[in-house]
A and B are shown apart, each in its own frame.
Chain A
Amino acid sequence: MAEVRLEGITKAFGGKTVVDDLNLTIEDQEFLTLVGPSGCGKSTTLRMICGLERPTKGNVFFDGKPVSWLPANKRDVAMVFQSYALYPHKTVRQNIGFALKMMRVPKATIDEQVLRAARTLDIEDLLDRKPRELSGGQRQRVALGRAIVRDAGAYLLDEPLSNLDAQLRVLMRAEIKRLHVDVARTFIYVTHDQVEAMTMSDRIAVMRDGVVQQCATPGEIYERPANRFVASFMGSPPMNFVTGELADVDGVRVFRGGELTQELGPYDDAPDDPAVVLGVRPEDVTLSPTPVEGYQPGKVFVSEPLGPDVLVTVRIGGELLKARVPVPFRLGHDSTVYAGFNRERLHLFKASDGTALHAPS
């Protein structure tokens, strides 16, 4: 059991700051995901928690005890590597049981625990094979097995699904989430895939350039992104953005950007600078083939059927906006269409620094 606390963690490699003054507390038994684009410092953060890197500044605490200067083998953590890092000369059984052997656990107990882990991951019949005889998915399971066989305080997973095909990734996503419930330990998961982050985590920390942009539950991250970066990174397809400015028209606050004019609801923060960016998620855009009051006329640029719904790109003036609409959608390319936005779910960001202007919740 472990609560992991990062206090003012900074990591620099040769003068380049990769993680900058990061403060984060991961509760005991929580599933926290560090998500962000490549090079945002998420893996480095995980490696500092693990003990594979030392922070340039700041401290890592496990259950309140500072561990920054402890090497990885002295910390109570298990890790799944992005590349799996299976020992090629050892069988699956030896790979999974290796840490226990190093901890001088009696052989009978090791055998029992390895078997239990193998059963959980459905790799019992692979125990006597070498890693080179396994498929990517099987290797990934062995890597997971090597971690879960440990009774570690925290489990660190560094993009463990990034090498799997799409189908297997969906399957393993659910399995890891279930595993977290079963073993009831702290999981810290690193990924650049926002779908993984949204589906698996109790909380998500979105990182960019070594700084946590927002740390909140998946729902909050999606509904109330702290800034434009979080809004654009989380959600697939990503949020639409239109640059424009705020204006008062007959006492009603209105957004104007290009050919788009949109009435807005009440907003907490009245920015000094009227230059703003309007954000709208594709599922909050409604399309109509006939004119509707308050809808903006546009042309269908392209439509991409996704199965249950269709992703339609509409050109309104100079802007291309994506709308996710239910099937059937029968309008062809360049047909006139009217787009309406769900006023309750519009996002506004300051044009200057991208900070969100939140509506009162």
Chain B
Amino acid sequence: MSTVVKVPLRYRIPWKKIVLYVLAVAFALYLVLPFYWIVAMSFMREVDAISVPPHWIPNPATLENYLGFVNPNEAQQLVGGRAIDETPYSLRNSLIVATSTAVLNLVLATFAAYSFSRLKFRGSQVLLVLYLLTRMVPGIAIIIPFYLLMRTFGLLDTYLALILSYTTFALPITIWILKDFFRSVPRELEEAARVDRCGWFRTMWSVFLPVAAPGLVAAAVFAFMTAWNEFMFALFLTSTEAAKTIPVVAANFATDFNTQFTVMAAAGVLAVVPPLVLALLFQRKLVQGMAAGSVKG
């Protein structure tokens, strides 16, 4: 007769898991906390925002920092160089410049990336590397030529100056993103469209571009964010509320004399809203499988 020996299971502490979780949470906090602090501060009174120890939750919560952009009180009017007055205009400017950059960039990059992904031509690899090389040059090195160029063409302090500049920054990377994306679109889809009586343009419009939509959205979001965040060129090329963008105006909130953190935080939150809305709107497109189900898996 055999006897069953019961061996008590020793509980082992999953150290590896614990360490991983702790690191993951720490990293998440590192990413989220600054943003939370800005949002929380934008609803605080100045006196609460700078108190020690800090108030983590706005109490009392107030909207006066936001209302200041419409109807500033006396204290708010003192904020660095009319920054508070310029915020609504700069938001509008940023939106126009970033959207235009995204659209222009997308149109140009789509044609270029399609050529690189589908056509074989001499020097294509060299050209691609050359495009990327232009991004290796630091912005500060080319800002003066850009400034002179824009001045010569009478484009200083205009949207066009920013749109053209930002397009030159975003285009090489966008072409690279799209080129790889387009290569992953099955060629048979275009061929099927040709057999289904589509000419080239119709094939592009009705089949290729819709299938490549997630890539196009990713490229557009990238270009939008590049334009939205850019500071140095905007600082050099714009000077009035006709074209100043939000990063330039946001920098004006801090002066030698006075810095109103809560108003600055509110401006920061406002600056985050458009890209956030964009990301939420297109997130499904960004993550969905591109050509799922079209060809054998």
CB 8 Å contact bits of B170-201 with A (1 = contact, 0 = none)? 00000000000000001011011111111100
A134 touches B293 (CB 8 A): yes
B202 touches A81 (CB 8 A): no
Minimum distance in angstroms from B46 CB to a CB of chain A: 52
Which of A51, A146, A163 is B196 in contact with, Cβ under 8 Å?
Answer: A146
Task: Answer yes or no: B289 CB below 8 A from chain A CBs.
Answer: yes
CB 8 Å contact bits of B264-292 with A (1 = contact, 0 = none)? 00000000000000000000000001111
A87 touches B198 (CB 8 A): no
Chain B residues with CB under 8 A of A50: 195
Chain A residues with CB under 8 A of B12: none
Task: Answer yes or no: A169 CB below 8 A from chain B CBs.
Answer: no
Which of B197, B199, B294 is A87 in contact with, Cβ under 8 Å?
Answer: B294
Given contacts A89-B211, A102-B202, A132-B289, A83 and B296 within 8 Å (CB-CB): yes
Q: B residues 190-238 with Cβ under 8 Å of A?
A: 191-199, 202, 206-207, 210-211, 213
Task: Answer yes or no: B295 CB below 8 A from chain A CBs.
Answer: yes
Number of B residues, CB within 8 Å of A: 27
Which of A72, A84, A134 is B194 in contact with, Cβ under 8 Å?
Answer: A72
Task: Answer yes or no: A78 CB below 8 A from chain B CBs.
Answer: yes
Chain B residues with CB under 8 A of A103: 197
Chain A residues with CB under 8 A of B194: 51-52, 71-73
Q: A residues 88-105 with Cβ under 8 Å of B?
A: 88-89, 98-99, 102-103
Minimum distance in angstroms from A9 CB to a CB of chain B: 19
Chain A residues with CB under 8 A of B207: 87
Q: A residues 76-133 with Cβ under 8 Å of B?
A: 77-79, 81-89, 98-99, 102-103, 130-133
A130 touches B293 (CB 8 A): yes
CB 8 Å contact bits of B249-276 with A (1 = contact, 0 = none)? 0000000000000000000000000000
B210 touches A84 (CB 8 A): no
A102 touches B198 (CB 8 A): yes
Task: Answer yes or no: A350 CB below 8 A from chain B CBs.
Answer: no
**Residue of chain B at shortest CB distance from A74:** B197
A73 touches B188 (CB 8 A): no
Given contacts A134-B293, A163-B296, A87 and B195 within 8 Å (CB-CB): no
Chain A residues with CB under 8 A of B210: 89
Minimum distance in angstroms from B192 CB to a CB of chain A: 4
B191 touches A132 (CB 8 A): no
Number of A residues, CB within 8 Å of B: 31
**Residue of chain A at shortest CB distance from B202:** A102
A52 touches B198 (CB 8 A): no
**Residue of chain B at shortest CB distance from A97:** B196
- Report the Cα distance A83→B213, complex, angstroms: 21
Task: Answer yes or no: A281 CB below 8 A from chain B CBs.
Answer: no
Minimum distance in angstroms from A188 CB to a CB of chain B: 13
**Residue of chain B at shortest CB distance from A163:** B296
**Residue of chain B at shortest CB distance from A103:** B197
B295 touches A83 (CB 8 A): yes
**Residue of chain A at shortest CB distance from B209:** A89
A73 touches B198 (CB 8 A): yes
- Report the Cα distance A79→B195, complex, angstroms: 7
Minimum distance in angstroms from A219 CB to a CB of chain B: 33
Chain A residues with CB under 8 A of B292: 88, 131-132
A84 touches B296 (CB 8 A): yes
Task: Answer yes or no: A244 CB below 8 A from chain B CBs.
Answer: no
Chain B residues with CB under 8 A of A131: 292-294
- Report the Cα distance A50→B191, complex, angstroms: 10
Chain A residues with CB under 8 A of B196: 73, 98-99, 102, 146
Chain B residues with CB under 8 A of A130: 293
CB 8 Å contact bits of B69-107 with A (1 = contact, 0 = none)? 000000000000000000000000000000000000000
- Report the Cα distance A133→B195, complex, angstroms: 24
Minimum distance in angstroms from B198 CB to a CB of chain A: 6
Given contacts A73-B199, A87-B207, A132 and B188 within 8 Å (CB-CB): no
Task: Answer yes or no: A54 CB below 8 A from chain B CBs.
Answer: no
- Report the Cα distance A83→B294, complex, angstroms: 8
What residues make up the interface of B, taking CB atoms closer than 8 Å to A? Answer: 186, 188-189, 191-199, 202, 206-207, 210-211, 213, 289-297
Q: 4 closest Cβ contacts across the A-B interface?
A: A132-B293, A131-B293, A85-B188, A83-B295
Interchain Cβ contacts under 8 Å between A and B, 28 examples: A71-B194, A73-B194, A73-B196, A79-B192, A81-B188, A81-B295, A82-B296, A83-B295, A84-B296, A85-B189, A85-B192, A87-B192, A87-B294, A88-B211, A88-B290, A88-B291, A88-B293, A89-B213, A98-B193, A98-B196, A102-B198, A102-B202, A131-B294, A132-B292, A136-B296, A136-B297, A139-B296, A146-B192
